[in-house]
Structure 1
C-alpha cells in the first residue's frame, strides 16, 4: 500500500459530487482526496426487507458517483462493516493527513463520529466536519437566553429572519477539481455482497418544477393532485443540495420554505432532546394508557380499517414506500387517537416502510399527531377521517386509486366508530393528565 499523504472524504448523507461542502473543503487541501463510503453493518443488518428500497437507492447513487470518479482516474472505495473497525484499517493502509465529513445530527451518528474523531486524534490526524444538509444548524437558532425553541412558530420566525445570502451560497462543483487520489478502478460493493437484492420500487426524480413550487401552497394538501415535491428521499440522503433547493424555492413558495423550516425544527428537537427517540417529549403524557390492540394495529398496517382515506394511505405506503403528507397526518391521528395505539408502534412501521424516512422528522411528526410532542395544540385535536376526505379528496380520486372496493360489500367494516373512539380518546387523555 502507498504511503503517499492523502485526505479522506467520508460520504454519508450527502451522496453527490456537486455543492458538497465537506468534499469541496477536502479538495481545496494540499493532499489528494480519497473518497469512501461505509455500509454500516450496525444499520443495514437491522433492515428486515432484504430488498430494502433505501439501500438500493444508496447503492444506485454511489454507482453514479463512482462512474464520474472513474473518468478522473479516481474511485469511490466502499466498505461493509462497523465504521470504527474500518477506519482503524484505513489509517493503517494509508498515510492519512485529514478526515473530512459533513455533520450528521442524529444520536447514533454523533456517537459514531465521536469514536472516529478520537481515533484520529490519537494519531494526530485532523478531523474536519462541516454543515451541509441544513441551512441552520441545530444550535444556531436559539432564544435570547441561549436555550432552544420548543415551539415551532417562534422558532420559524427567527429561522427565517436569520437567513442570509450566505446560507444559500453553493460551493463550486467538484467536477472542476482534479485533486482526487489516483487509484485503479475499484468497483463498489454489490448488494449481493451484503445479502441484499435490488428493489423494484420506483424513486421519484431529484428535481421539482417551478410550477409545482409556485402552486405548492394551494395544492400540497390534496393527495390526488401532483402538488408536492416528492424530494424527501433526496433530502434524506443528500442526493440534492439543500442550498440549491432553497434558492429555487425563494420567492416562489414561502409555504415550501416553511416545510424546510419544519424539517430543521425537528432536527433541533432531536439534537437538544435526544430522549424523544424513545420517550414522549411532554413527559406528563407518560401516564397515557395505550390500548395497543395487535389485531387493530395489523388492520391499520394492511389498510383494512374500514376508513377509506386511512386505508388508501397505508396501501400507498406499502406499495410505493411513499405516503402523501396530509394523509400521513390522518393515518397517524387515526392510530394514536381512534385506536389508542402508542405512537412508537406507528413510528417504527413508518421507519421500515418510508423511502424518505428521517429520524427527526418521523419522530416529530408522530409525536405531533399523538399530542405528546412540541405542538402547542392540546391532545383534543382528533382528525375525523370522513371530514378530512370531504375536504382533501372530495372527488374520491385518491381513494379510488388505492381502495377501489371501498363501496363494495366486501370492503372492510370500520373497526371503530368515530364518535365513540373520539370520546374514548378524550377520556383516556383527560384521566392521564389529571
Structure 2
C-alpha cells in the first residue's frame, strides 16, 4: 500500500501533514517534480536566486528522507503516470495557492480519482486557509488590520512532529540526479560564497529560528527597522520553500514568550509579520490577477515612464542615493535585502523614477532567495499605492531622511557602498550635499567613483504627485 507524497513548497519532515498521514499508512514514495513554466501555465516562474536555494534544499530533504525521486516535466502527466507505474494506491500533497497551482492540482486530483486512486491534500504553509477568514459581510478581507485581528481570534493547530516510522518505498530508476536539474548558476557563478551566508534545508531553518529567538527577538519591535543591526529573523527563504512552517514559528515563539513574559510585545510584532504573509496569500487566492494587474483599477491611468537606463541604474545600485544603492547591492551579493530597505528601494523605483512596479516585482522575483509570489506581489502593490490596504501614493520616502533615521551611523551604507566609507556621518546619506573638502578627504569624486543622483528628489516627488492626480481623475471618471 504505497502512498506517493508529492513535495512542492513543503521541503521538510516535521509539521508536514501529507508526509505524516502517508507514513502512518505504510511505505512512502517521495517525489519532487521540476516543471517547465511554459507547460505548467505559470506566468511568474522562479528566478535564479530561488533556483539556487531549491537545489540545496532538495539535497537536504533527500538526505533527511533517505531517498527522493526527482522528476522533470508536467506534473499533470507525471503524477498519474507515477501512480500507474508503481501501483501506488494514494497520493498526498500539501496545498499551494498560486493561481496556476490551484488549477493544476484540481486537474490532477480529478484524474487520479477517476483512476480510483485516493487523493488527499492538506494545509502545511499557512496558519489559516485563505477561504477560512471572511469579513462580517461574507467576502474576502482587503485591509490587513481587520484581517489579522480576525486571524488572531481563530485557533491554530499545534505543529505535527516528524513521522515516528518512515519507510521509503523503492524508488523507480527513472529519476533525475540533482545536478541534472541545472538549478545552479554556472557561467558566471554569481552565487559564489552564498553557501557561507545561508544553510538551506529544515535543519538550517530551525537553527535560524532558534538563534533569532535567543539573540534577536528582544527589541524586535523597534530594532527590526535597522538594517545595520541583526534584529531580523531572515527566515523568509526557509518559509517560502516550506523548510519551516508558520505553525512551528508561532509555537516556538509562544514558548519563549511563556518563559519570558517581557518578550510578549516583541513576539507579537514578530508573529504579525507572519500575518502579512498570510494576508498576501489571502489576497492572491481571492484576487489571482494580483501579480500582474493593479489591484485598484484606477492605477491603470498612472503615466509610468519607460527608461531602461534608469531601471538598470536601480538594479545595479548606481542611483546616487546611498541607502537605495546599498540595498540593491546587498540583494545582488546575498540574494536578500532587509525589509525596511526593500520599502525604500521600491518606493524609489515607483515614485522617484516612476517606473512600473511590475519591473520591480520581476527583478525581486529573479534575485531574491525568498521570492514569494503572494508576498512579492502584494508588497510591491502596497508600496506603489495600487494594492490592497496600500500606502498612500503621495507618501514618498525621502531616501536621505530614511537613511539617517534607520542607518544613523551609516554602517549599512559603508558595508555595501564601500566607495563612500570615508565620508563623515553627516554626508554618508547625501554625498551630493557634501562640500568639496569632505569629498576630497573621503576620496570620493562624484560622477567617477560614485554617481551623481539620477534624479533630483524634490523634482521627482512633484512629478510623482502629478501622476497621482491622473489616478485620482481616472478614479473619479470611473465613479
Q: TM-score, normalised by structure 2?
A: 0.83
Q: Answer whether contact 1:316 1:402 (CA < 8 A) is retained.
A: yes
Verify: 1:394 aligned to 2:408, yes or no.
yes
Q: Answer whether contact 1:168 1:246 (CA < 8 A) is retained.
A: no
SS at match of 1:405: helix
- Residue 226 of structure 1 deviates from its aligned partner by 0.6
Compared CA separation, residues 48 and 133, structure 1 to 2 (3 A): closer
Q: What residue number does 2:61 align with?
A: 65
Q: What residue number does 2:470 align with?
A: 431
From 112, 121, 130, the counterpart of 1:120: 112
Matches within 5 A, 1:171-182: 171-174=160-163, 176-182=164-170
Q: TM-score, normalised by structure 1?
A: 0.91
Compared CA separation, residues 107 and 47, structure 1 to 2 (3 A): closer
Q: Answer whether contact 1:168 1:247 (CA < 8 A) is retained.
A: no
Q: What residue number does 1:154 align with?
A: 146
Q: What residue number does 2:233 align with?
A: 229
1:193 and 1:234 map into 2 onto residues whose CA distance is 20
> Once the two structures are superposed, what CA deviation does each residue of 1:180-205 show, in whole Å capped at 9, x if it has no partner?
32459998622245474574323254
> Once the two structures are superposed, what CA deviation does each residue of 1:311-356 show, in whole Å capped at 9, x if it has no partner?
0000111111100000000000000000100000111000000000
2:21 and 2:46 map into 1 onto residues whose CA distance is 36
Verify: 1:10 aligned to 2:24, yes or no.
no
- Residue 48 of structure 1 deviates from its aligned partner by 13
1:117 and 1:332 map into 2 onto residues whose CA distance is 39
Verify: 1:297 aligned to 2:311, yes or no.
yes
Q: Answer whether contact 1:213 1:249 (CA < 8 A) is retained.
A: no
Structure 1: state its 5+ residue gaps.
Answer: none
Q: Answer whether contact 2:4 2:83 (CA < 8 A) is retained.
A: no
1:56 and 1:50 map into 2 onto residues whose CA distance is 10
- Residue 91 of structure 1 deviates from its aligned partner by 2.6
Matches within 5 A, 1:12-411: 12-29=8-25, 31-42=26-37, 52-70=48-66, 75-162=67-154, 164=155, 167-174=156-163, 176-183=164-171, 189-194=177-182, 196-197=184-185, 199-200=191-192, 201=194, 202-203=197-198, 205-206=204-205, 207-208=208-209, 209=211, 210=213, 211-250=215-254, 251=257, 252=263, 253-406=267-420, 407=431, 408-409=444-445, 410-411=449-450
Q: Answer whether contact 2:94 2:123 (CA < 8 A) is retained.
A: yes
SS at match of 1:35: strand
Verify: 1:420 aligned to 2:459, yes or no.
yes
- Residue 38 of structure 1 deviates from its aligned partner by 0.8
- Residue 178 of structure 1 deviates from its aligned partner by 3.6
Matched length:
421
2:176 and 2:334 map into 1 onto residues whose CA distance is 27
> Once the two structures are superposed, what CA deviation does each residue of 1:133-186 show, in whole Å capped at 9, x if it has no partner?
110111111112220110111111111122x2xx24121312x11443245999
Q: Answer whether contact 1:340 1:425 (CA < 8 A) is retained.
A: yes
1:134 and 1:84 map into 2 onto residues whose CA distance is 24
**Superposition CA RMSD, Å:** 2.4
